[in-house]
Amino acid sequence: MKLARMMVVALAATAFLFAQEAAAPAAAPAKAEKAAKKGAEKKIVGTVVSVDAIANTIIVKAKKGEDTVSVEAGAKIMSGKKDITLGDIKADESVTITCKMADGKKVATHIAVAAAKMGKKKMEKAEAAPAAAPAAAPAAEPAAAPAAK
């Protein structure tokens, strides 16, 4: 009787171990796939240092330092709601770049240029104002009132 119990316990333990080994490899690819999807796209928010439209690269200064990002041929580049080209992006503009890793390099799939902080009317006023307006002369002080006797 003891021998039968020991055999049943041994068989149950073996079956349990085989079930765990069979489930583990199936779970590992699912976890790796989720990690790949999460790590597939990364956002970089920063200020443009320089743009090379010929080499299709953009250098952005972010919190962690400068990032050089290649721009893929079909990348969507937007300024507000307007489509623009890589050459339209200027230094010191704020951008948000969505990129993926390919061959150990960051490759941009979408670039959003932040809209100017100045409103349209203020921008027009700033452009219309003369470059160096002379300072206004100080107002003359009013004459002192005659003293009462």
| 52-106 pLDDT, tens digit each | 999 999 999 999 899 999 999 999 999 989 999 999 999 999 999 999 999 989 9
CA distances from 44 to 14, 80, 91, 109, 115 (A): 50, 17, 16, 12, 17
pTM: 0.53
Is residue 85 assigned to a domain?
yes
- CA–CA separation, 62 vs 94, rounded Å? 10
Residue 13 within a domain = no
SS3 for 2? helix
Nearest to 86 by CA among 66, 118, 110, 106: 110
What does the chain come to in residues?
Answer: 149
Residue 59 lies inside a defined structural domain of this protein? yes
pLDDT bucket at 147, cuts 50 / 70 / 90: low
CATH number at residue 46: 2.40.50.320
**Rg of the chain's alpha carbons, rounded to an integer?**
33
**Domains of the chain: total:** 1
If pLDDT is split at 50, 70 and 90, which confidence band does 14 have? confident
For 121, list phi and psi in degrees, rounded to 5.
-65, -40
**Does residue 29 register a pLDDT over 60?**
no
Domain of residue 64, residue span: 42-120
Would 113 be classed as within a structural domain?
A: yes
Inform me whether the pLDDT recorded for 46 exceeds 80: yes
Which of 69, 65, 75 is closest to 101 using CA atoms? 69
